Amino acid sequence: MADAAAPPPPLTATTKPKALTFASATPPGSAYDDASSADKPRAKVARRSDAAPPPEAPRDDGAADAPPDDEPGDAADARARLGAALLRVLRRLGAARDCIGRTRGPDALRHLHAVPARHFETGWVQHHVGKVHFEAADYEAAVRSLRTMRRVEPHRMAGLELLSTALWHFKDDVELCYLARHCVDFDARSPEAWCASGNCLSLQKEHDGAIRCFQRAIAVDPRFAYAYTLCGHEYVANEDFEKAIGMYRHAMRIDERHYNAWYGLGAIYYRQEKYELAEYHFDRALCHNPTSSVLHCYLGMTLHANQKCHDALRHLRRAALMEPKNPQARFQCANVLISLDKYEDALAELRAVSDHAPREASVHFLMGKVCKKLGRLDDAMMHFTFALDLEPKDNNLIKSAIDRLEEPDDLEGVDDEDDDVEV
């Protein structure tokens, strides 16, 4: 399973080229209009109080709360003020929905946070706040908003496919199982219920059962694009790439802007080393969701494979800035810098990655190779030894590097990606 693409299953992974197993709050993605993965603002849900809102962040309360006076003229004025306040709220909500459609997540959040608190704490608004965070791969904020959506509107099904994908990314099998059971019991005729069930089975590595759930979601609503994408992710997990490609293409026929399907196709072509096709599909996915650090990272890796190192470095650095807690992008930056013979810069990136993931054997192994290239043989031996302790199953490769420590060799990066990242 599960943008992303994931689920986006939660580019929140299909079975993708092998990667670093960094624990990242980044698992399947969102359908463009039915699901949601921007530099992520983490605004908390405002709560209404009796005090007036602070002047630095006023809401459009206007006359919405002003009681009508007893005089007929005053009553007419009050109704006019209420009507104007309502129009302001509707204008804000419409502007937010338009920004989401144009993949302008920060602008959408600005409009949504500007509505009065009693409107902000509604299922529709919290769904779309969660969707924006989800498409930016900020799954923590997405889960927070979508849980609020369930609390204020317990019977709402729309948006639960995103919540289940985000929980898939967090490996929260307890809450995900509870959510799936609740959804199926409440409304077995909704595609969201079967997407949640499929994500639950996917998290337990029961890919065939997950496929059946996603096919049930498709049968319930053949126009629900996200179900096709999640089904494609499961076919990739079973290495049935032909059926996965068919599912992704069907999702794109329903919604051309469904970036998760573009990501899924790109990931398959990347695994098959068809880098030109992979670059095209990742680029199209980014056109529809430029706020996804996962998409920037995969496009950067593909550009590196196509020998476009400077373009690759630009996308990878942007991915690292967008999601500092995920060291995968910085690790790939180090690979690109090695290709450019910038070994000191590469070593600096690897040290930063090691601070985030000190028990990653591949990081220490690559640091050892860089230190050897720089002539720091003692440091190289230290990192090779760390890598051997952390990853005994790769002992032949690491021992070979130790045995050839005094011999010159060509330095190549380590191509590694996260098997559990889905969009």
Q: How far apart are CA 207 and CA 198, in angstroms?
A: 8
Q: Indicate if the pLDDT at residue 54 is higher than 90.
A: no
Q: How far apart are CA 81 and CA 318, in angstroms?
A: 46
Lowest mean pLDDT among 46-50, 107-111, 148-152: 46-50
Q: Identify the pLDDT of residue 412.
A: 59
Q: Answer yes or no: is pLDDT of 241 > 90.
A: yes
Sign of the alpha-carbon torsion through 130, 134, 140, 146 = positive
Residue 407: predicted pLDDT: 77
| Residue 359, pLDDT score | 87
Residues 376/352, Cβ–Cβ less than 8 Å: no
User: Is residue 230 a contact partner of residue 199, using CB atoms and an 8 Å limit?
Assistant: yes
The least confident of 82-96, 196-210, 397-411 is 397-411
| C-beta atoms surrounding 173 within 10 Å | 13
As a whole number of angstroms, the distance between CA 196 and CA 189 comes to 13
Predicted confidence band of residue 71 (pLDDT cuts 50, 70, 90): low
Report the pLDDT averaged over residues 339-346: 93
State how far the Cα of 123 lies from the Cα of 131, in Å rounded to an integer.
12
Domains of the chain: 87-156 (1.25.40.10), 170-255 (1.25.40.10), 258-355 (1.25.40.10), 358-407 (no CATH)
Whether residue 411 has pLDDT greater than 50: yes
CB-based contact 271:16 (threshold 8 Å) = yes
Answer whether 0.95 is exceeded by the pTM.
Answer: no
Tell which residue, 163, 423, 171, 203, has the closest CA to residue 319. Answer: 423
| Residue range 183-232, pLDDT digits in tens | 999 999 999 999 999 999 999 999 999 999 999 999 999 999 999 999 99
CA 25, 30, 35, 39 torsion-angle sign = positive
pLDDT of residue 22: 43
Out of 37-41, 151-155, 356-360, 406-410, pick the least confident.
Answer: 37-41
Task: Identify the pLDDT of residue 129.
Answer: 94
The two three-digit tokens of residue 275, written as one number: 């880098």
> Which is higher by pLDDT, 232 or 46?
232
Determine phi and psi for 275, rounding to 5 degrees. Answer: -70, -30
Summary mean pLDDT of the chain: 82
Beta strands in 278-384 (DSSP E): none
pLDDT at 332 over 90: yes
What pLDDT score was predicted for residue 6? 42
pLDDT of 240 > 90? The answer is yes
pLDDT at 95: 87
Q: Express each pLDDT in 293-318 by its tens digit.
A: 999 999 999 999 999 999 999 999 99
What's the CA gap between 85 and 65, in Å, rounded? 9
Which pLDDT belongs to residue 51?
A: 40
What is the Cα–Cα distance from 391 to 409, expressed in whole angstroms? 22
Taking the C-alpha atoms of residue 368 and residue 28, their distance in angstroms, rounded to an integer, is 34
Cα gap 108→134, rounded to integer Å: 13
Please give the structure tokens belonging to residue 334. 């180090």
Q: Give the Cα separation of 313 and 335 in Å (integer).
A: 10
Per-residue pLDDT tens over the stretch 244-265: 999 999 999 999 999 999 999 9
The mean per-residue pLDDT over the stretch 86-106 comes to 84
| Candidate from 172-181, 191-200, 390-399, 406-415 with smallest mean pLDDT | 406-415
State whether residue 3 is helix, strand or coil.
coil
* 420 pLDDT more than 60: no
